[in-house]
Amino acid sequence: MNILAIGAHFDDVELGCGGALARHAMQGDDVYVFVATISGFADQYNQEVRSNKTALIEAHNAMAILGVKEMLCGNFKTLEVEFVDTLNIEILKIVQEKKIDMVYAHWTGDIHHDHQAVSKSSLHSCRHVPRLLMYRSNWYHSTLEFRGNFYVDISKFWKIKQEAIRAHVTEVDRTGEKWINFFRNEAENAGQRIGVKYAEVFEVVKWLV
């Protein structure tokens, strides 16, 4: 099976569905990741927090840890992604060329501007893919409800997910252990609901059998 995970920034798919991707890779599926932005960014004082070059190096390290077959990169600037044909066509080409069977995409209710735009493009461009799940990759509140109704047991893959997150050294240095602690708690809570140690939960857009 050919799997595509779509993220706005380097680190999104690791946080949102890294355990599931590691599980797919271990099972022998071909896992592809598309990241829309070059992912470097500055703070509110225009001081560089992470350079594009560093973001790319860290992302390649994370992809290797997860067992991703190929990472494909867009050229949008961080915080400047829009729901436009340029992005739609880029995703559509990947879906067709890689013969994608299943997609992991951002949740449409995410409040992050880039995440919203990439989510809309994902739903638009992957409309003929038979299986599509949406993930959450941050901890911010939304006015919408994330309807998590599809669980993946990642008990054997949490350590791989954690290692992939830690590969984003500049972001982990910036946030301390907050990312790790938050997503570990999320995985533990999801796992408790289905009787396993760790799980990731997704909202189903479609699941054809």
pTM above 0.75, yes or no: yes
* pLDDT tens for each residue of 50-62: 788 888 999 999 9
Q: Note the pLDDT of residue 51.
A: 80
**What one-character-per-residue DSSP string does 15-81 give?**
HHHHHHHHHHHHTT-EEEEEEEE---EE-TTS-EEE-HHHHHHHHHHHHHHHT-SEEEEEEEPTT--
Q: Is the pLDDT of residue 79 over 80?
A: yes
Q: Note the pLDDT of residue 130.
A: 98
Mean pLDDT for the chain? 94
- Mean pLDDT confidence for 154-172: 95
Q: Note the pLDDT of residue 40.
A: 65
* pLDDT tens for each residue of 107-119: 999 999 999 999 9
Tell me which amino acid residue 208 is. Answer: L
> Could you tell me which residue, 41 or 57, shows the higher pLDDT?
57
Q: Is the pLDDT of residue 128 over 70?
A: yes
Confidence class for position 44, pLDDT limits 50, 70, 90:
low
User: Going by C-beta distance under 8 Å and a sequence separation of 6 or more, which residues neighbour residue 68?
Assistant: 21, 25, 31, 32, 33
- Which fold is adopted by the domain 2-207? Rossmann fold (3.40.50)
Contact predicate 17/53, CB 8 Å: no
Q: Is the pLDDT of residue 45 over 80?
A: no
Q: Is the pLDDT of residue 49 over 70?
A: no
From CA 45, how far away is CA 140, in angstroms rounded?
22
> Could you tell me which residue, 48 or 161, shows the higher pLDDT?
161
Confidence class for position 42, pLDDT limits 50, 70, 90:
low
